[in-house]
Chains A and B, each alone.
Chain A
Amino acid sequence: MSVSVGQFYEAGKENLSLELEYGGEYFSRHIPEQALNRPGLALTGFFQHFSHRRIQVIGLAESDYLQSLDAGTRLSRVRDVCRHDIPCILLSRGRRAMPEIREAAEEYHIPVMRSPMITSRLINAATLIMENLTAPTIRVQGTMVEIMGIGVLLQGPPGLGKSETALALIERGHSLVSDDVTVLHRDSEGFVIGSAVDVTRYHMEIRGLGIIHVPSLFGVSSMRNNMRLDLVIQMHPWDPAIEVDRTGLNSEKTDMMGVSVPLIRLPVAPGRDMAQVIEVAARNQKLKLLGHDAAKELDEKLVGILTRKAQA
């Protein structure tokens, strides 16, 4: 998946504190390779093996080297680099672009941005951002909510009340990530991250009401742009024939993009307060993440009592 300079800038604005020096109108330029490159040798005029398909980072060394040249040479060297169709130039340590960099960038329509970070940190952080931007995404049917820091994906056949349940959870102070269609991707740390499809973000459809704009009705805190996926809840109509885990000891998992995520199968019956049950499921999941498994602990306590009594 190819990433544009504009996408990189948007994604890195916060984490890298990016500021645009020049060239916002050329944000549609593509970044064909996700790694970053320091054009040290290229600036000396050596272009063999020059990774021109990557973001070019001008660090302290490049910057001081360029300063050591006279203005004319400086301009021609930067021009030579820009001529290789590089995606954009990224300056570290908050340094402003020298007039020659700007001139060459203007000539070849190359965006220039800067970050206050030192070069090594900047490259690490920018690489992570590029990895996230190029990570494969999938779309799954399901509504995603954030309940006290736990990302929960609600799945199940249409008409079972996934959106209504999400609405009830929002009313309880939790946040909506996406309604009905959730975009998932794996981040660089190996977590699955869910978000909404851009066009429909902040909206949900409630049968009988139509489309509503969630933050207008419930405030900004009712929405989250993305959230780590911690729990999948598979809702299904109440059916005595379907076996339900009554103890919670048999923790089931499901595969989401190669990551194993806890799965709970939840029967829906008329009058059952699904929002309440799901909130408790999320709390319980949080407890498990902290290392407490209530079902297991009760069972261990029982086994202790029972074996003592059996021996007596």
Chain B
Amino acid sequence: MKLLRKDAANDMVRKVEIINRLGIHARPASMFVKKAQEFSAEITVEKDKMKVDAKSIMGLLTLEGYMGAVLTLRAAGEDARQALDALEELVKNKFYED
């Protein structure tokens, strides 16, 4: 029998493309972290096989998320869907920057 994590049913994956001109520099990263912190779900961000915690500023900066890069967001937890919705909205709205 395959072992499943209790909340595995709530695991979510989503890909988003960065479309703001300057990419994920400090200000977008802090907005991203601030948004991620509103949710209890565990959220990670992946790019080029590098995976960081969505609630870590320094982690996000090391990803070098330039315009055109695609991020894979993964969330696990009760509010995983809401978390990914909110983060996706933020990225798609160019972090309200351009």
Interchain CB contact under 8 A, B34 and A246 = yes
B11 to chain A, nearest CB (A): 24
Chain A: interface size category: 10 to 19
Chain A residue nearest to B26 in the complex (CB): A299
Interchain CB contact under 8 A, B27 and A247 = yes
Q: With A246-B33, A246-B34, A307-B21 given, is the CB distance from A302 to B67 under 8 Å?
A: no
Interchain CB contact under 8 A, B22 and A307 = yes
Segment 28-77 of B: residues with Cβ below 8 Å from A: 29-30, 33-34, 37, 57, 61, 64-69
Kindly supply a per-residue 1/0 record for chain A positions 290-305, scoring 1 wherever the CB is within 8 Å of any chain B CB and 0 otherwise.
0000010011001101
Chain B residue nearest to A300 in the complex (CB): B25
13 A-B residue pairs with CB within 8 Å: A246-B34, A246-B57, A249-B26, A249-B30, A298-B61, A299-B27, A302-B23, A302-B26, A303-B23, A306-B64, A306-B65, A307-B23, A309-B64
Contact residues of B with A, CB < 8 Å?
Answer: 21-27, 29-30, 33-34, 37, 57, 61, 64-69
Chain B residue nearest to A302 in the complex (CB): B25
Interchain CB contact under 8 A, A247 and B30 = yes
B71 to chain A, nearest CB (A): 13
Contact residues of A with B, CB < 8 Å?
Answer: 240, 243, 245-247, 249, 295, 298-299, 302-303, 305-310
Q: Which residues of B contact A308 (CB under 8 A)?
A: 66
Interchain CB contact under 8 A, A249 and B64 = no
A304 to chain B, nearest CB (A): 9
Complex Cα–Cα for A309 and B65 (A):
9
Q: With A302-B61, A307-B66, A309-B66 given, is the CB distance from A246 to B21 under 8 Å?
A: no
Q: Which of B25, B67, B69 contacts A299 (CB 8 A)?
A: B25
Chain A residue nearest to B33 in the complex (CB): A246
Q: With A243-B34, A307-B21 given, is the CB distance from A295 to B65 under 8 Å?
A: no
Chain B residue nearest to A299 in the complex (CB): B26
B57 to chain A, nearest CB (A): 5
B18 to chain A, nearest CB (A): 9
B5 to chain A, nearest CB (A): 25
